[in-house]
């Protein structure tokens, strides 16, 4: 349907700013999207429960580099917009650098989610949760992926890149992407307590 060239996209007659319905989402054609060579098409993805998120920020260290590439391919098949924030090879790096990049990006973009991968996923969870407004969760099966969204409104999913089957990782990620926060009062109240403590802590900083 689409053929991307160096400076433009050839497609059937569509004007800039025009919206094309496709499945559960919509493509928005804009000059910015025409020239973003590292990013997928701008796409409003909807979960099965109707929640929308506009973009995924993804990052990994050397141990998660390979899985990151597989996840990016998967996001493309789902036509979900994403930003790859590194790393760009399997050379040894420090996971906090990439955790902070993704966490900062998600915290600044209300309708975004993040994906982080390291050897076990644990280091990414610890680092990402140091950023105010981030609720990063380690997901390792369908249940933890679903509960992270339904009960905790997790905005970053952390995965293990070592000794974990790719097919299983993608299946778990799909559950996380398609699940919305339940918005039940008990869960909202618990998250509000976390937010209030965050605000209290940051208010004490010089």
> Which CATH number characterizes residue 76's domain?
3.40.1400.10
In a domain, 162, yes or no: yes
Give catalytic residue positions. Answer: 118, 151
pTM of model > 0.85:
no
In a domain, 23, yes or no: no
User: Helix, strand, or coil here: 87?
Assistant: coil
In a domain, 87, yes or no: yes
Q: How far apart are CA 167 and CA 170, in angstroms?
A: 5
In a domain, 25, yes or no: no
For the chain, counts of helices (H) and of strands (E): 7, 11
In a domain, 49, yes or no: no
pLDDT band at 45 (very low <50, low <70, confident <90, very high): low
Domain that holds residue 114: 56-203
In a domain, 108, yes or no: yes
Q: How far apart are CA 103 and CA 133, in angstroms?
A: 9
Residue bearing the bigger pLDDT, 205 or 159: 159
Confidence (pLDDT) at 110: 87
Q: How many domains is the chain partitioned into structurally?
A: 1
In a domain, 41, yes or no: no
In a domain, 180, yes or no: yes
Confidence (pLDDT) at 116: 99
Q: What is the mean pLDDT of the chain?
A: 82
Rounded percentage of the chain residues whose pLDDT exceeds 90: 69
- Report how far apart the first and last C-alpha atoms of the chain are (Å, whole number): 55
| Cα-to-chain-centroid distance, residue 200 | 27
Residue bearing the bigger pLDDT, 160 or 39: 160
């Amino acid at each position: 349907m689409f053929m991307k060239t160096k400076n433009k996209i050839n497609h059937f007659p569509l004007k800039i700013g025009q919206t094309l319905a496709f499945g559960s989402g919509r493509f928005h054609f804009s000059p910015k999207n025409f020239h973003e060579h590292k990013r997928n098409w701008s796409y409003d993805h909807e979960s099965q429960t109707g929640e929308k998120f506009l973009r995924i920020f993804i990052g990994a260290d050397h141990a998660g580099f390979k899985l990151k590439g597989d996840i990016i391919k998967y996001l493309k098949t789902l036509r979900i917009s994403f930003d790859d924030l590194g790393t760009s090879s399997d050379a040894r790096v420090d996971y906090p650098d990439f955790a902070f990049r993704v966490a900062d990006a998600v915290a600044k973009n209300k309708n975004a989610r993040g994906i982080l991968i390291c050897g076990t996923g644990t280091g990414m969870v610890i680092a990402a949760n140091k950023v105010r407004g981030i609720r990063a969760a380690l997901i390792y099966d369908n249940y933890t992926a679903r509960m992270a969204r339904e009960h905790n409104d997790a905005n970053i999913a952390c995965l293990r890149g070592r000794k974990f089957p790719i097919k299983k990782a993608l299946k778990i990620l799909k559950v996380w992407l398609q699940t919305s926060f339940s918005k039940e009062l008990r869960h909202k109240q618990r998250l509000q307590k976390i937010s209030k403590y965050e605000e209290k802590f940051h208010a004490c900083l010089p």
